Amino acid sequence: MLRRSFGGRWAGGLLRGGVLTLLMASQASALPPGFVWLDAARPEIAFEARYASADNFLGRPVEGYGEPRIVVSEAVAEGLARAAADLAKDGLGLKVFDSYRPQRAVDHFVRWAGDEADAVTKARHYPRIAKRDLIPQGYIAARSGHSRGAAVDLTLISLETGQELPMGTPFDFFGPESASEHPHPDPQAVANRARLRAAMVRAGFKPLKEEWWHFSLETEPFPDQYFDFPLE
């Protein structure tokens, strides 16, 4: 787990009904009310900040992800704690790839989806879908529950080894094979998806049928707000 202090400042914004309100904090580790750093709030939950690295479907760090950490809303953190406790009984844990996502990152995704010349990650992330179809098919959206502090992307790990369990496709694989209840030929992957889904539903989340890794809170903390403060 990452353990370090951060200096400097951050500046971000909150979209309310289309109006951008500037948010400021005196310390980089300080967050708007209702948000926490995952590693500080729930150190028992593993994470890998994919969008702060080049290991993602853009093939480069995403705008707004200045630090390799994960921010979650307090409501998401509480739900994850419930799911982790449930899974721990079977020797399983959670590994989070993303939760809170700045609106500027969502905008970066949309710009990337419109650039058909950039196909560096096609073979790994969308081999059988034309890039121009990623938005119409719902894999990329201009507004996201992540920016409302309501969503989380994650997978299962073994608590003994820390290794990810097979789920049939990688995280952020765009295609029908990633659907939550897709009849994957690997029965272990099917079982793992079902185990993750069951634990998250019991913890107060609802699954996204198109993506086995994506879950949103049944009751959102900020249903009408889209945040844009960066992770730094």
3-state SS, residue 15: strand
- Indicate the Cα dihedral angle 104, 110, 115, 116, nearest 10°: 150
End-to-end CA distance of the chain: 17
Residue 155 contacts by C-beta under 8 Å, 6 or more apart in sequence?
94, 95, 97, 164, 165, 167, 171, 196, 213
> What is the bridge-based pairing of β-strands 71-73 and 35-37?
antiparallel
Other beta carbons within 10 Å of 188: 12
Catalytic residue among 211, 218, 220, 232: 211
* 211 a catalytic residue: yes
3-state SS, residue 193: helix
Helix axes 187-202, 74-88, angle to 10 degrees: 130
Q: Which residues are the active-site residues?
A: 211
